[in-house]
Amino acid sequence: MLRLMMMKAALKEDYLMGKPTGFLEYPRRSVAYRDPAERLGDFKEIYTPANDKALSIQGARCMDCGIPFCQSNNGCPISNLIPEWNDLVYKGRWKEAYERLSQTNNFPEFTGRTCPAPCEGACVLGISDPAVTIKNIENAIIDKALAEGWVEHKREKEKTGKRIAIIGSGPCGLTAADQLNKAGHEVTVFERADRIGGLLMYGIPNMKLEKELVNNRVQMMTKAGIEFKTNMNIGDSEESLNALQGFDAILVAVGSTNARSLDIPGSDAEGIHLAMEFLTKNTKSYLKDGLKEKGYINAKDKDVIVIGGGDTGADCIGTSLRHGCKSIVNLELLPTPPEERTVNNPWPLWPKIYRIDYSHEETITKFGDDPRSYGKLTKEFIKNSSGHVTGIKICDVEWKNTNGSISMVEVEGTEEVLNADLVFLALGFLGPEASLADKLGLELDQRSNIKASHGSFSTNVSNIFTAGDCRRGQSLVVWAINEGRGAAKAIDTFLMGDSDLEAPTTATI
């Protein structure tokens, strides 16, 4: 009888997710960033080490809700088994938590650091209380798995003899390569830059994602049989296409790199740069010699203006601060977001609210104020006789809703000129660069992305597939993983007639 009671208790413990009353007993406690005054002095990661016991308590807050919206369409694009690994962390079963996490996510160390966590926005607990710290728990799981040596890449099937070329080594290309290698195919990844990683390597600064993490994954994937070729700009010439000869299938995963500019008077002035030019040159120089030699865009002692918000704008702010800029201003065309959800932004949609990102906190620490200024229209760049930018003319704008039609109106009498030695444009992207698609004969959609449907990922050319930002438009790293897994399954099916590879079905485009 006692043994039966113990078995029933064990079964009950395994069945329940988290502690049934945990969300009532424990408040949300996020893993802290390093002190802003300290982290401003280097390009090391902004994060502090996680505490196992503290995260176990946070895992206990997971509610065992009937429908886990965190892994639904509005939550996690790759359908991570979030309640399951929350529960396993609560119970101290870290290796099993990693096994659950790796079933759906090829690179949790990337998403755990860079994803804005739509899963937390869709957390059921978030309806009335602060959401579970899902992102922190995910990041801690993979960090422990890497430290303990649990992570490995390998072929799970015998070699098929099929050869696949992947153009682009960002998160989508790497994910597809990993999946297709598991299926037994020979995979070659072409990257035009000098290092593998795409956006992960040069688009995201080191303080948000240590490049050693990217290099570590590439080394493991290389040992597993994947071939990586750098400095290969496929599509820049007819000759470059010869490298694609002999492959049974091709995946185009080149991202969305055609950046928006600002076509206003004075836009040809020196000192105006696209955000990615600034971030890429900085990381290249940092990895080469710790920013000792020239070759990057140095913001030291400069009045810096960043036009455009979002993660890229925040990264330009954080990088400029670390250089030692004289001042920093971030201009945003849209109005100030609300502190809480509005009626037209209900749960479980992503909460469009006012947030303080890491670099905003750093600016407040250094200069005393949030760098962002909302509802500002940039009208003109002012330059000196040498052609270098010295300032920008801006004005306030109001947004009006007239019978459902949103319009922007300049506010009279609000024009002013801001000093500027450097201006960074973080205005988003318009799609992939056209040269590769042109040379491969690929059709584009109305938004200038390569035309293909989510699920099939097939282009108008029979053996060429496309996925990631070059297909769906500028998006998140976690969406790139979604697309990479989906494209891998589609390619495996195309080559073999069927596929055992898992792929998320979540898609909005």
pLDDT in the model for residue 321: 98
Residue 405's pLDDT band (cuts 50, 70, 90)? confident
Please tell me whether the overall predicted TM-score, pTM, comes out greater than 0.85 for this model: yes
pLDDT in the model for residue 406: 87
Q: What is the C-alpha separation between 214 and 329, in angstroms, rounded?
A: 31
pLDDT in the model for residue 323: 98
Q: What is the C-alpha separation between 234 and 231, in angstroms, rounded?
A: 9
State the total domains in the chain.
3
Q: Please report whether residue 117 resides in a domain.
A: yes
Residue 93 has pLDDT above 50, yes or no: yes
3-class SS of residue 103: helix
- Angle at which helix 82-90 crosses helix 134-148, to 10 degrees, equals 70
Which residues span the domain enclosing 123?
A: 13-32+45-148
**CB contact at 8 A, 411 and 397:** yes
Render pLDDT for 285-338 as a digit per residue (tens, 0 to 9): 999 999 998 889 999 999 999 999 899 999 999 999 999 999 999 999 999 999
Residues 137, 75, single domain; the answer is yes
Q: Select from 378, 394, 425 the last residue of a domain.
A: 425
Residues 57, 139, single domain; the answer is yes
Residues 278, 252, single domain; the answer is no
Residue 227 has pLDDT above 50, yes or no: yes
Q: Select from 396, 425, 454 the last residue of a domain.
A: 425
How large is the average pLDDT for residues 148-153?
95
Residues 291, 385, single domain; the answer is yes
Residues 288, 377, single domain; the answer is yes
Residues 102, 129, single domain; the answer is yes
Residues 289, 365, single domain; the answer is yes
- Sequence-ordered list of residues with C-beta below 8 angstroms from that of 176, at least 6 positions apart, any chain: 166, 251, 253, 467, 484, 485, 487, 488, 491
3-class SS of residue 373: strand
Residue 163 has pLDDT above 60, yes or no: yes
Residues 387, 278, single domain; the answer is yes
Q: What is the C-alpha separation between 42 and 131, in angstroms, rounded?
A: 31
How large is the average pLDDT for residues 395-407?
89
Residue 24 has pLDDT above 70, yes or no: yes
Q: How many helices (H) and strands (E) does the chain have?
A: 17, 14
How large is the average pLDDT for residues 388-406?
92
pLDDT in the model for residue 9: 45
Residues 394, 318, single domain; the answer is yes
Residue 75 has pLDDT above 90, yes or no: yes
Residue 17's pLDDT band (cuts 50, 70, 90)? low
